[in-house]
Amino acid sequence: MTKPIAFIDLGAQRAKLGKRIDTAVMNVVDGGAYIMGPEVKTLERQLAEFVGAKHCLSCANGTDALGIVLMAWGIKSGDAIFVPAFTFVATAEVVAWVGATPIFVDVLPDTFNMDPASLERAVATAKTLGLNPSAVMPVDLFGQAADYDAILPIAERHGLKVLADGAQSMGGVWNNKRVGSLAEVTTTSFFPAKPLGCYGDGGAVFCNDDALQALMVSLRVHGQGTDKYDNVRIGLNGRLDTIQAAILIEKLAIFPEELIARQRVAERYNAALGDVATVPTVDRRAASSWAQYTLQTDKRDAVVAACKAAGVPTAIYYPIPLPRQTGYRHYPSVEGGTPVSETLSRRVVSLPMHPYLDEAAQDYIVDTVRKALA
Ligand SMILES: *Cc1c(COP(=O)(O)O)cnc(C)c1O
């Protein structure tokens, strides 16, 4: 290999965008509107249009995005919020922020996403514990939308609000609709390694509800009221930097073609590895944004070691399900536990995945993985 293989090659994207990024950043630097400059509004309008939502609220990161929604909904102590056991910690963290109780729900072994049957059982678990079932937070893991066709009716039957954690699935599709328009509220993250990333932290909330949007606009800036020195509620400093908005406007312009390139990379992996490992299953109703390309194998250690020796970066998302993480052990899981999440945490390994992975590098990765599994 002439150049080292990147897990996510942001340098290649930077080279492609070239002067457009330099110009966008310098316009903000010279313009001086560093906080809530015009690029922020422009980006919000473009993102809302891209996902098909009425409103977009940009914010400081994907965790704040989730937290702002729970604050706006008035989620509080005594409320049970259903979150998958197999996800990034932020999904459950924000529930604890507002004093509510996350209840861990198991996931499906093929899509890695929330198991609707486990959610149904978890509602009963919450009631047994004397908690008030209030909301469900499906996560679109690794870029694929959760099964909203199954989850939304369960939520409706039990009076649960639905907050879709789309931190990994920007650009993903379900039933021909973009992530961002699939649930009453969706959040996303622009952390650099996400499908649509900026050059720092960033996030957004999508919804169609005018009143909710107005509340979140206030929460984003310390709970300010119409008189900005009369803060009418407890909020946070959750704004997106203007520089990050300017960068995202340039990246959004090439995002559709990047999604096509990611799909091409995923299909080549599937074809080349399907006989030696369990390749990712994408529901026929879904198109993934391929935040991660994640294999399952009982010989994970061998794959990781062979890749390391060959200079192929790998990652394990996630090695410890949330119910076993130190800060989260005291929170309840669905009756019967989360065995699928446990199994996945031992079997998953993610391979390099980005739009600029060329065929020669991918063939080298495939060869390395195949040899390890031979
Ligand atoms: C990355 C991520 C978040 C948090 O996003 P940040 O921008 O890093 O705060 C939340 N949920 C999931 C599932 C994520 O992958």
pLDDT tens figures, 314-342:
999 999 999 999 999 999 999 999 999 99
- What is the per-residue pLDDT for 366? 98
Token pair for 365: 């990765």
The binding-site residues of ligand 1, defined as CB within 6 angstroms of any ligand atom, are 61-63, 87-88, 90-91, 139, 165, 167-168, 189, 191, 201, 203
Element (H, E) at 97: helix 90-97
Ligand 1 atom at minimum distance from 141 CA: 13
Q: Which of 259, 254, 244, 243 is nearest to 17 (CA)?
A: 254
Q: What is the mean pLDDT of the chain?
A: 97
HSE-up of 342 (CA within 13 Å, CB side)?
7
- What is the per-residue pLDDT for 1? 52
pLDDT tens figures, 45-72:
999 999 999 999 999 999 999 999 999 9
pLDDT tens figures, 211-248:
999 999 999 999 999 988 899 999 999 999 999 999 99
Distance CA 235, CA 101 (A): 20
Based on its alpha-carbon atoms, the radius of gyration of the chain, rounded to whole angstroms, reads: 21
Ligand 1 atom at minimum distance from 189 CA: 7
Ligand 1 atom at minimum distance from 202 CA: 7
Burial class (CB in 10 A: 0-12, 13-18, 19+), 115: buried
Q: Which of 164, 172, 187, 167 is nearest to 286 (CA)?
A: 172
Cα(62) to ligand 1 centroid in Å equals 5
For residue 3, what pLDDT band results from cuts at 50, 70 and 90?
confident
Between the two ends of the chain, the Cα-to-Cα distance in Å is 22
How many other C-beta atoms can be found within 10 angstroms of the C-beta atom of residue 367? 14
81, 139, 189, 240: which to mutate for ligand 1, most atoms within 8 A of CB?
Answer: 189
Cα(2) to ligand 1 centroid in Å equals 33
* Strand duo 293-296 + 348-351: pairing: antiparallel
Cβ atoms of 252 and 196 within 8 Å: the answer is yes
Mean pLDDT calculated for residue range 342-350 = 98
Those residues whose C-beta lies under 8 Å from the C-beta of residue 179, and which sit 6 or more positions away, are: 51, 140, 145, 164, 166, 169, 170, 171, 172, 173, 186, 188, 289
pLDDT tens figures, 252-266:
999 999 999 999 999
Distance CA 224, CA 217 (A): 9
- Among all chains, which residue has been given the structure tokens 């005594």? 78
Total residue length of the chain = 374
* Strand duo 79-84 + 101-105: pairing: parallel
pLDDT tens figures, 178-213:
999 999 999 999 999 999 999 999 999 999 999 999
